[in-house]
Structure 1
Amino acid sequence: MALKFLGIIPNTPDADSPTIWLDEDTGDLLIQSYRASEEEVKACQEIGSIPGHSTDVPDHETIIRLPKTMLQFIPKPDGE
């Protein structure tokens, strides 16, 4: 796996550091960030996604909160 560091939240303290990496082999993003609160997860489940799709969060997934300032580090698709 070839990871590339993309960014860390500016002025972050040593122990609180949302970070983004790019897997250069797959194009996937690996994101370390804040775990969504129970209230936020419930709100996501209430809104849902597409009709008929489960709103349960599987054990191998989680919902994270990505601070707005971190969006600058997300790569744009080619041509944008």
Structure 2
Amino acid sequence: MALIKLGQDPESPDGKSPTIYLDDEKDTYLVQGWKVIDDDRRSQLDLPGHEDVIEIPKRMVRFFPEVTNGGGADS
């Protein structure tokens, strides 16, 4: 499996920010982000036991190739 790092939150002060990866074998995205622990927001989601939810800033959408017409992290 080869994970390709597409981009990190450019405004992260520590560099350990939300990050988006592409798994080129499974053709899926892995998204590292902030845990959503707010019970009010979690109660509005229909989450099966085998799933969870994380949060990333809206500005990171630019790292998804579909948004940048196939471009990479530097697009």
TM-score by length of 2: 0.73
Counterpart position of 1:59: 49
Determine the C-alpha separation between the residues in 2 that align with 1:15 and 1:66.
Answer: 14
List runs of 5+ in structure 2 lacking aligned partners: 71-75
Map 1:1-80; keep pairs closer than 5 Å.
1-14=1-14, 16-36=16-36, 37-44=38-45, 55=46, 57-76=47-66
Q: Deviations over 1:21-58 (max 9, x none)?
A: 000112100110012222211123xxxxxxxxxx3x23
Name the structure with the higher helix share.
Answer: 1
List runs of 5+ in structure 1 lacking aligned partners: 45-54
Give 1 or 2 for the bigger CA radius of gyration.
1
Determine the C-alpha separation between the residues in 1 that align with 2:18 and 2:40.
Answer: 21
Structure 1 ranges of 4+ moved more than 2 A: 57-60
Identity %: 37
TM-score by length of 1: 0.70
Number of residue pairs aligned between Structure 1 and Structure 2:
68
Question: What is the DSSP-based 3-state SS (H/G/I as helix, E as strand, rest coil) of the residue aligned with 1:62?
Answer: coil
